[in-house]
Chain A
């Protein structure tokens, strides 16, 4: 009888200790979680928690159907999009440049577009260009990214029988002004 009582008491004691440990474990996990959640901004600013690097992206929304020729009267219409992943809204300047077969560049359109944080903004462009334009490119001045671009059909003034210079050579002067050849 006394042995049973002692065994029962011992079992209760162990169970109580186990329950206490369970409680402590759950409380510890909760406290660590709460502390991490509360301190997340501080940790992020101290570089101790993952943080996304801010950047801006640029693309053509319909890359498979970009114009390959100038339309009647030199008409050209296309659109591009700017994506803003900087974490805050930006007002972004853009420039459209036309390059002819000799590598001469001319800014033909420019403007500003507002892009919300995490969002995208589509910019339609419609303009008239002179014949001889070999390439159209869109740049975001002040941003560390290469301009996007598309070719137009060979300019008519390329002399037959003469090897046309490669576009990289044509564009080298323009690139030099913009800060280097495309990498």
Chain B
């Protein structure tokens, strides 16, 4: 099956030439060794630099080579071409990650049989990587040097003022570090403002047909907003990333990836286990820095790829808006830095979507590229790969049906072919079921479906409209109700529990938590209007995406002009939009996958749909400035910058206090207290903490179980070890949740003081026993 260039492709090919495509340099007939000088030089440099782990420049050089050389060789071996320099660079990076994961996997599984028990240690891993690179180079060289061919493209670099945007992530990093060290948020605010300016510059560049400028601006803006969160605090910021780091630590310590025997999905993902462990050992860079500094780069590249995808059929300015929408979504900056696995997986997903519709790929090299990217996606993150493969299956079925109905099934070959679908499904079955036994997400969903049926409405109470408007969002409860419900449920369900007598616990009623630290409003009374505007803008963009999907389908079915969106792309957009609607509405589906993260993934493809409707808007109503202003509003609201204007609970990027800061910013004392606790609690000790206490324990130790998180007098065991995080010590506030209802309540310090010994104390954590 081959993918033939579509009728509109001359325009795309022309575009790729404008963007500076990257063919090899050779004349085609010379001897191979002559053309491997780039590879040999870099390998020698890699091996040399790897032996100077205490020299920072050497570590950076190792990291740069490891992230580029294997990919450049693999891409050349597969003859994969994406057209523009930006996408080719992204492909090289993605291919490097894929090669590293593949070698780490092979080494972990095979080398122990040869007597090498720690295959991810520096020497065995580097030796194997050298061999892999030489093999790829030998395989790829057909009269051109794969490394120098990539670097030796046409054109000379000249400085232009807009290029200063590449310093934007450094500005964001500096701002966050100043905030971390107790200074104000002025530099952070300046960097958010600079990100807005960068997006405007990118839009202007796209409008002028300067695609590289648009893509670099997207990259700079993305990375800077990601750094605002990923670099927050001296430890990792977020929830899931603590467990990811824990699995990384165990792989790093063992210097080997071992398939999880208990079906642990975190341990099954190579993107957060074998990959960072190998990188960390080879480059001598701490895993903490990899997760905080390097991983955000992977996903920061994605908006530029979405721009590339959308600009194949939309005008560049509209495509820019479609891609920038991804950057300004609140969850892009605040959630993704806490999901290292998804940062890697999104890169592979975006590359896969590009490869599927790439006019430069055909025949076997197309199949090899798609298979490689699909495999890398599956081993990187299970949920992203489930959504991707479901998208492929739906597109294949729906487009096949449309072709059958329209009688054109013998026409143009499909981008999503049977091979792609079968390979995707087979890869998921092989990896998630066969190798790692980590399909608990799917089995949970299926059992939920079997037990309760498909709940097409969101969980919650009230009328249909109320449930739709509130979506699958949790509710809030009161401290006293939380105390009562947790006590009753703990007594009923935890048979091992030795509770304190009610005569004791009844003396300690629940109290509301002190109000969180709030920023003073710059403009009094602005909170409501600003929130309303932000919600209106958000909903308008969603409406535009829906209109865009409909317009793409209409174009695909009835229009014949050269820049129309192909029907297959329109069907793919429809499949993803339907999935988003389902996850927004259905309690059953939402229980298995986070709707916000689904929206982020879908937005990579739906950039085409948004671009289609935005183009109509900008062409008919001359609303370009309005659209860019709307993007700016979304970015400011998403990063919490609007709170500086309206006042309210301080977002974590603006103050060293507030709810978000309490929950996710960890202190050295908390980390040390968690380590002390796990070391001293004994084998059978039961740990109690609040809703966000486990993050400190997971992030700091090898303790993988979920501690008891009902830290209330009635639910507490008499022999418990109680871990109180910093906000419980300094702000006297704890957080809890019961059956989806969240609560913040006053820490029961007096109760703990009366019934337990205080056995560990530092300024930011306590342990009672």
Contacts and interface: CB of A to CB of B under 8 A. Distances in A.
Interface of A: 4, 7-8, 10-11, 14-15, 17-19, 21-22, 25-26, 29-34, 36-37, 47-53, 55-60, 63-64, 66, 83, 85, 143-151, 166-168, 171, 181-183
8 contacts: A11-B27, A33-B55, A49-B177, A53-B667, A57-B762, A60-B760, A181-B749, A183-B732
B64 A29 contact: yes
A99 B238 CA distance: 42
A8 B64 CA distance: 31
Nearest to B154: A14
Contacts of B673: 57
A167 B149 CA distance: 77
A51 to B, nearest CB: 6
Contacts of A150: 757-759
Contacts of B148: 14-15, 18-19, 22
A37 B52 CA distance: 14
Nearest to B143: A11
Contacts of B42: 22
Contacts of B27: 4, 7-8, 10-11
B759 A66 contact: yes
A143 B132 CA distance: 56
Interface stretch (B179-187, B250-258, B566-574, B635-643): B179-187
Contacts of A57: 669, 672-673, 760-762
B147 interface: yes
B747 interface: yes
B60 A18 contact: no
Nearest to A63: B759
B524 interface: no
Contacts of A58: 760-762
Contacts of B142: none
Nearest to A85: B668
Contact of B152 (A17, A25, A37, A49): A17
Nearest to A136: B757
Contacts of B182: 47
Contacts of B401: none
B61 interface: yes
A144 B754 contact: no
A61 to B, nearest CB: 8
A7 B30 CA distance: 12
A183 B759 contact: no
Given A50-B177, A64-B769, A147-B761, A34 B25 contact: no
B766 A146 contact: yes
Contacts of B682: 64
A145 B761 contact: yes
Contacts of A85: 668-669, 672
B38 interface: yes
A45 to B, nearest CB: 10
Closest 4 CB pairs of A and B: A18-B152, A33-B57, A18-B148, A57-B762
Q: Which of A51, A53, A85 has the largest count of B CB atoms less than 10 A from its CB?
A: A53
Given A26-B61, A63-B757, 8 more contacts: A15-B145, A22-B42, A58-B760, A59-B676, A143-B763, A147-B761, A149-B757, A167-B754
Contacts of A60: 757, 759-760
A28 B15 CA distance: 31
B234 interface: yes
Contacts of A37: 55-57
B446 to A, nearest CB: 44
A29 B57 contact: yes
B753 interface: yes
B750 interface: yes
A85 B667 CA distance: 12
B53 to A, nearest CB: 13
Contact of A11 (B26, B672, B676, B766): B26
Given A17-B152, A48-B178, A50-B234, A55 B669 contact: yes
Contacts of A32: 57, 60
A144 B760 CA distance: 14
A40 B673 CA distance: 28
B56 A183 contact: no
Contact of B668 (A10, A53, A144, A146): A53
Given A47-B181, A48-B174, A64-B682, A149 B758 contact: yes
Contacts of B37: 19
Given A15-B145, A146-B766, A50 B180 contact: yes
B59 interface: yes
Nearest to B765: A57
Contacts of B45: 26
B619 interface: no
A114 to B, nearest CB: 19
Contacts of B667: 53
A18 B762 contact: no
Contacts of A149: 757-758
A19 B38 contact: yes
A145 to B, nearest CB: 5
A83 B58 CA distance: 35
B680 A167 contact: no
A18 B177 contact: no
B764 interface: yes
Contacts of A166: 507, 750, 754
A85 B765 CA distance: 14
A34 B764 CA distance: 35
A58 B150 CA distance: 58
Interface in B57-99: 57-61, 64
Contacts of A34: 56-57
Nearest to A16: B152
Nearest to A23: B41
B584 to A, nearest CB: 39
B729 interface: yes
A59 B760 contact: yes
B177 A47 contact: yes
A125 to B, nearest CB: 15
Contacts of A55: 668-669, 762-764
Nearest to A22: B151
B493 interface: no
Contacts of B769: 63-64
B672 A182 contact: no
Contacts of A64: 680, 682, 769
Contacts of A14: 25, 148, 152
B61 A30 contact: yes
A168 B750 contact: yes
B28 to A, nearest CB: 9
B753 A48 contact: no
Contacts of A18: 25, 38, 145, 147-152
A33 B42 CA distance: 18
A148 B762 contact: no
A111 B668 CA distance: 27
Nearest to B62: A29
B61 A182 contact: no
